[in-house]
Amino acid sequence: MTDDRSNDHHRSDDNRRSGEQLADLAAALRAGDRDPAAYAEEIRDRIDDRDDRVRAWVDGAKSRSWAAAEAEAMADRHPDGSRPPLFGVPVGVKDIIHVDGLATRAGSSLPPSELVGPEATVVRRLREAGALVAGKTHTTEFAYFEPAPTRNPHDTDYTPGGSSSGSAAAVATGTAPLALGTQTVGSVIRPAAFCGVVGFKPSYGRVPTDGVIPLSASVDHVGVFTRDVAGAALAMSVIADDWSGATIGEGPTVEAGPGGRPTLGVPDGPYLDQATEAGRAAFDDAIAALEAAGYDLVRAEPFPEIDAINDRHNRLVAAEAALAHGDWYAAHADRYADATADLIEEGRDAPVAALVDGRRGRHRLRERLASEADDLGVDAWVAPAAPGPAPEGIDDTGDPVMNLPWTHAGLPTVGLPAGDVDGLPVGVQVAAGFDADERLLRWARELASAVADAA
């Protein structure tokens, strides 16, 4: 281990100590035990102290005076009594999501005037719940593979993952207790794993995507990053459609498995073969920790045709990206990064059959996974959140292949920290049945504790 990396680890430990669990923070702000304006100032201090190294925030986030004024106005609107669930909570917003008053650049060099649009419903819901937008967080270009300038907070020589690079890094450094991301392949769960935080991608369609620059509308999801599962549940209760059940202070009530615990399916075969040696060893440690905690595990091969699933998903993304970017690309092709341009060109050449098969394939896979889970008595699937720890360098955000089939099926998926490999975080992802988001997050509280120090 180099001296530079050792220094980064020390800073990472400091960041963890000074970052808050969202659920506890929100309760303190609602109760008046924390002052929104003072907390906004504290967050601004952290950004000034830490973000030059990590670069999670676009333009360093909102100015100190702007953030203070919004926090004071929020406090004036709710002087006492009943306060909304995210009263005074600063939020980072991935820079493909429109926010009134902030430009959307989408990690690209296109003129911002080309990318304007009305504020996203997900942002409006956060504001109505009392949250304060602290600023935009860096994204890869148009949420694809051209890297953002963000670095991994645990070692700045390594990638934070993508495409929601800045959102994951902001939560990891304690410069935001909550951040929005999006996932079209693995853009929430993978950076959450690389940065050592909780990531949640809901069932397809549970969170509106209007006001979000699309990559592939059939598989685009809006998700969240927090430090705690309870915080993710709190955030989802605000931004998701038809969220059921209380989440503030709710215990881990569950309905399945012996003793109220879910039975977990463990994918094997060609899907798991995509993990690296280090990633597979870390996953084995996590499985051992779950066994030691008393979980029932069922080994299975749900993806014997994983190469075909991967190809189908990637063709769908390319075809829909070409549709979404048609006018922009026609006018500004020379401003697109090579990786994004190649995707769009591939999509323009794709036959209509690829688009149709990709869209139908999502439902076929979802139905098959549900049927297999029923046959096996499985309540949720647990898998590596990434092939391994973060790759070295910031020119590659890592491979989303471990996330792809769960995203293709549109299943709710939570990413949980599961220790580290040589100081770099690793994680597991847990996917439940379609529209079982609330149940998954209830289960995830105990699952997070079981795997927290696995690797």
- Active-site hit among 94, 167, 203, 218: 94
Is 163 catalytic? The answer is yes
Which position among 163, 164, 167, 216 bears the catalytic label?
163
Both tokens of residue 384? 């590596």
Is residue 201 among the annotated active site residues? no
Verify whether residue 136 is a known catalytic residue: no
Residue 232 and residue 207 in contact, taking contact as beta carbons nearer than 8 Å: no
Distance from C-alpha of 90 to C-alpha of 107, rounded to nearest angstrom:
22
Q: How far is CA 107 from CA 127, 216, 318, in A?
A: 24, 17, 18
Asked if residue 50 lies in contact with residue 150, where contact means CB atoms within 8 angstroms, the answer is no
Residue 32 zone, left/alpha/beta (φ > 0; ψ -120 to 50; rest): left
Distances (CA, A) of 307 to 153, 180, 301, 404: 33, 30, 13, 11
Report the C-alpha gap between 88 and 95 in whole angstroms: 21
Q: Which of 194, 184, 13, 205 shows the shortest CA–CA distance to 94?
A: 184
Angle at the Cα of 322 (from 321 to 327), degrees rounded to 5?
115
Catalytic residue among 108, 164, 167, 187: 187
- Greatest C-alpha distance within the chain: 59
* Catalytically active residues, by annotation: 94, 163, 187
